[in-house]
A and B are shown apart, each in its own frame.
Chain A
Amino acid sequence: ACMAALRGADEMRDRVVLGEFGVRNVHTTDFPGNYPGYDDAWDQRRFEEAFRVDVIREEGDSLEFDMVGIDAAIANAFRRILLAEVPTMAVEKVFVYNNTSIVQDEILAHRLGLIPIRADPRLFEYRNQGDQEGTEIDTLQFQLKIKCSRNPQAAKESSDPDELYCNHKVYSKHMTWVPLGNQTDLFPDADFRPVHDDILIALLRPGQEIDVLMHCVKGIGKDHAKFSPVATASYRLLPDITLLKPIEDEAAETLQKCFSPGVIEIQNIKGKKVARVANARLDTFSREVFRHEGLKNLVRLARVRNHYIFSVESTGILPPDVLVSEAIKILMGKCQRFLNELDSVPME
């Protein structure tokens, strides 16, 4: 069955409508005073009643969950914090003792910085500015010492580098943790190493060696992208497809092909094929419907304004649900900082 379109004002408040050439009702307008008859002032209790979080899927490093009843400004704040302000540990300083490989020092240092390190950043402090040495509470030391040599047991005519040379591929598993000071006592069971063992850092040939010492510090994505804890964090709004008139037979078949598979299903009612919206969530909104003259005006494509489908994929340092919790705590920390400043500084 088709649903009637919402009343004008409700539609403007709740839905972002996708027209053929543009998007309408983009901005949030439900502020007090805009709509007569609606009480839009902030009400914590009403917010708490309407708000919910549904976890859809959690697999390894990726998490998909819905947040319903929140506004774009706050959802975007969470996304921005996940990308740029949740701290992690990454290699910052590389002390090169010997590098006779073909990879230049700075390129090697850049590559080492981008490797994700499995170390819980909440156990460490930020390094003080101007501190060159690094203490045991803010630095992790790693060593990479590898030398390539010729394999004496290789066959005479083989040309396969895996057989001819040993240690010619430098992987991230060759990075070893060197405890500083009392770190062995502070972290007795800890196993600090890169998240993935098989990241190829450099290639060597016999006679070349790499001997570097690395210092990892705590940092945030705003400073350098290597500190970002997520592979990516994104959200989309829940799609909402309404059929304004009943669509039957051939038109129904065309309609089904216009959307992603599973969105429109065709039911057989009294011998006629009738289209019905089965699951609008799966749609990616390619707007194929607008290319068909006959179907253009029978469908309304919209998005529900306050229903966000978040997708967070972590690099492996922290599990994605921990990242989301940390992001929310960071936003609270920002507010608290300004509240404290307001209370301490007298305003004239």
Chain B
Amino acid sequence: IQADGTEGNCVTFVLHDEDHTLGNSLRYMVMKNPDVEFCGYCITHPSESKINFRIQTRGALPAVEPFRKGLNDLMAVCQHVLSTFERSMKEYRAQR
């Protein structure tokens, strides 16, 4: 990760070794946060695998907070999807 920006509330994170897989899903989770004014990501060059992930927040909230919250929310979503999927597979097999 590299971050730069003048004040704390507009930050561009450079995530190495990542692409649309994490970029788009993380962007969705961060956009769902009502404190975020702008969130976007782009792939700087298709030959390099890194993304520029920018977050701008309303007011004086440091941009690292929605980033961290987005990552935690995405982890919680994955955890729930995993447990629901495994439960459904078990039910399907039991019922067959």
Contacts and interface: CB of A to CB of B under 8 A. Distances in A.
A341 B33 CA distance: 22
B85 A324 contact: yes
Given A32-B32, A342-B1, A325 B85 contact: yes
Interface in A333-348: 334-336, 338-339, 341-342, 345, 347
A335 B93 CA distance: 31
A51 interface: yes
B42 interface: no
Given A53-B81, A77-B21, A331 B88 contact: no
Contacts of A33: 34
A73 B32 CA distance: 12
Among A54, A73, A321, A329, residue most surrounded by chain B Cβ atoms (within 10 Å)? A73
A41 B64 contact: no
Among B79, B82, B91, residue most surrounded by chain A Cβ atoms (within 10 Å)? B82
Contacts of B43: none
Given A41-B33, A47-B80, A51-B80, A342 B68 contact: yes
Contacts of A342: 1, 64, 67-68, 71
A123 interface: no
A159 interface: no
Interface in A40-97: 40-42, 44, 47-48, 51-55, 58, 65, 67, 70-71, 73-74, 76-77, 80-81, 84-85
Given A41-B34, A47-B77, A53-B88, A331 B25 contact: yes
Contact of B33 (A32, A52, A55, A339): A32
In the A-B complex, list the 4 residue pairs whose CB atoms are closest, starting with the nearest.
Answer: A42-B32, A55-B92, A73-B28, A32-B34
A53 B85 contact: yes
A347 B32 contact: no
Contacts of B84: 51-53
Among B34, B75, B89, residue most surrounded by chain A Cβ atoms (within 10 Å)? B89
Contacts of B21: 76-77, 80-81, 84-85, 331, 334
Interface residues of B, number: 41
Contacts of A76: 20-21, 24-25
B19 to A, nearest CB: 8
B54 interface: no
A42 B33 contact: yes
B25 A341 contact: no
B81 A67 contact: yes
Contact of B22 (A53, A58, A328, A334): A334
A40 B25 CA distance: 16
B78 interface: yes
A107 interface: no
Given A42-B32, A335-B78, 17 more contacts: A28-B28, A41-B33, A44-B73, A44-B76, A48-B80, A51-B84, A74-B77, A77-B21, A81-B21, A84-B21, A325-B82, A329-B78, A329-B82, A335-B22, A335-B71, A342-B71, A347-B64
Nearest to A338: B71
